[in-house]
Structure 1
Amino acid sequence: MLRRRPPLLAPPELNDRPLRRTLDELRSPHQLHGLGADRTRASWKAVAELLHATGQDWDRRVHRISVLAHALPANVSVRWIADRPEDRDALTVRAYVQAARAVTEGRAVAERAGDACLRAAAAYPEDPTPWLALLLLMHSFAAPTSDTVPVWTEAVTRDPWNRTAYHQMLRYLSPRGHGTVPDLIDFSRQGAIQAPHGSPLALLPLAARTELVAHRRRGGSTDALLADRQWNGPEATREIDTALAKWFHASGPPHAEALADLNLLAFALTRTRRGADAAPVFRRIGRQMTPHPWELLPNPAETFVYWRDQNRA
């Protein structure tokens, strides 16, 4: 009997198996109606157990809550708050859900989402997650940079090298967001320089360069033709060398979105034709391709498989 090969595209939860099990439980027919498999277990309890097990691993907590905010059936966070109105995890999940969905629901909902973020922050003062939910909300509604920086500062005060915090601010400062090219480049370089050895923030300049490529690709035919030239030159080489030395070859602690960073690094290495360096990165990735940044190419899956197989050879 032929074994079915796993899908190439990684899901939003990446390789977080406990999060995947929780999402599977929430997607079961009984849970979609707000009940557990035994028709007595409230659907939010699976999320509560996951977050309790996560503890104060802020990096993984932020990742899990951000994925849950987009994937939860609408009634789960509502019922959790109704059942446990003072539960700080319930307040945080509800705040992130409201912040993630406010952009499609208007300013009135956005104001309530902002209040929910501040309430969650007050309920769990050590947690950077409510501040990142608020930053996400401010990005959606193009708040001035002068207002977003203090919110970002609140998050990184609680978890100084939080990957999500830096990547959210990077997207905000991108010309595809609400910033400029100098803002983007300066922020990414400062973050990479200051971050400790082994931190995934060593890849921030590569993330910024990829943002710049994406910005130029949508700027018109001439800009699109010049976009890939961003990978030519000594700056790109130095950024890749730093990412390899300070993160990929370092023995830093594992983090929740390592798979996304591996894909970013592999993408940069293929753009610069560094096949020998790309080979061990692809081995660590395996079949788990993330949509970004490969979606910037005309045939993302085919390109990913081509380079993966070339480097295996």
Structure 2
Amino acid sequence: MLRRRPSLLIRPELDDHPLHAILAELRPAQQLHGLGAGRIRPLWEPVADLLRATGRDWDRRVHRISVLAGSLPAAVSQRWVTDRPGDGDALVLRAFALSERAPDEGPAAARRAEQACLRAAQACPEDPTPWLALLSLLQSFAAPPKDAVPVWTEAVNRAPWNRTAYHRLLRYLSPRGHGTVPDMMDFAQQGAARAPYGSPLVLLPVAARVELVAHRQRQDPLVAFGASGHWNDPRAAEEVDTALTGWFHTAAAPHAEAVTDLNVLAFALTRTHRPAEATAVFHRIGRHMTHHPWDLLPDPERTFLYWRDREAGRHRT
């Protein structure tokens, strides 16, 4: 009998099971317009419990709040702030939610989001999350990098080597954001060189190379056929080697967005023709595929499964 292959899990919460449980509980509430009709306790209370349990783990907190802000009905954070106007967690989530929605609502919404970010930063002075919400807002409204870097600095002053902070500025400085290829590559190289041993930030140059490929493909879709040249560059092999030895093969504890970094690393290993080394990375990924960077290739899910199962199948024979 043929065994059914487990489906892939492609979701913004990645492998964060407590976060997934909260989203599964609250997403149906969209049908109730976020008002929590028929519930004994308000919709925001499970979110409050989750963020309280997260505490000062800034890496996990940033990830959870950004996913919650983009996934929950806006009424959840609004009701929380209304019920608990001085609650720092409520203010931070609301700031992130407003920043996420402002690009679709115009300049007035941007001003409200900015005020919400600054209010949240004042309420939670040690928290980098409000500053990353503000950074997201600046990117959405195409503020120049010179205005974004001081905001990013506020975040990393509170959480040095925060993975999300570095990757958000990398995208800001990329040519698909508001910077240039030299800006992006220089930032990635400097960040990786200064990062502590075992930090996922050693993957920054690999992520920058993926951004470069994405930029070139957006300029001319036909360039996809020649994109392998970016990976044949000797520096690409060095960047991948550093990612393997400086992060993947270390005893560093998993971080909140490890699944994202694992997908980038696996992608780079397949592009640099190192499928045997990719096997261990795919084993750690399991079912948790991310859209990017596989969306740079035709039929992303099929391609992911091909590479994931290719070496595993050989070892089973």
Match of 2:155 in 1: 155
Distance 2:111 2:37 in 1: 36
Distance 1:92 1:233 in 2: 43
Contact 2:22 2:46 (8 Å CA) reproduced: yes
What displacement does 1:225 show? Answer: 3.5
Match of 2:69 in 1: 69
Task: Tell me: CA distance 1:5–1:89, structure 2 relative to 1, closer, same or farther (3 Å).
Answer: farther
Q: Sequence identity, in percent?
A: 66
Match of 1:27 in 2: 27
Contact 1:30 1:36 (8 Å CA) reproduced: no
Match of 2:287 in 1: 287
Match of 1:186 in 2: 186
Distance 1:54 1:38 in 2: 28
Distance 1:284 1:202 in 2: 18
What displacement does 1:275 show? Answer: 1.4
Match of 1:85 in 2: 85
Distance 2:262 2:30 in 1: 37
Match of 1:267 in 2: 267
Q: Does 1:165 align with 2:165?
A: yes
What displacement does 1:109 show? Answer: 0.3
In structure 1, stretches of 5+ residues that fail to align are none
Matches for 1:1-313 after TM superposition, within 5 Å: 6-29=6-29, 32-34=32-34, 39-221=39-221, 223-312=223-312, 313=314
TM-score, normalization by structure 1: 0.96
> Per the alignment, in what secondary structure is the counterpart of residue 227 of structure 2?
helix
Larger displacement relative to structure 2 (46-55 or 25-34): 25-34
In structure 2, stretches of 5+ residues that fail to align are none
Task: Tell me: CA distance 1:220–1:33, structure 2 relative to 1, closer, same or farther (3 Å).
Answer: closer
> Per the alignment, in what secondary structure is the counterpart of residue 177 of structure 2?
coil
Contact 2:34 2:74 (8 Å CA) reproduced: no
> Per the alignment, in what secondary structure is the counterpart of residue 11 of structure 1?
coil
What displacement does 1:3 show? Answer: 8.8
Contact 2:276 2:311 (8 Å CA) reproduced: yes
Distance 1:37 1:115 in 2: 30
Distance 2:258 2:67 in 1: 15
Distance 1:262 1:37 in 2: 40
Task: Tell me: CA distance 1:38–1:69, structure 2 relative to 1, closer, same or farther (3 Å).
Answer: same
TM-score, normalization by structure 2: 0.94
What displacement does 1:295 show? Answer: 0.4
Distance 1:17 1:258 in 2: 14
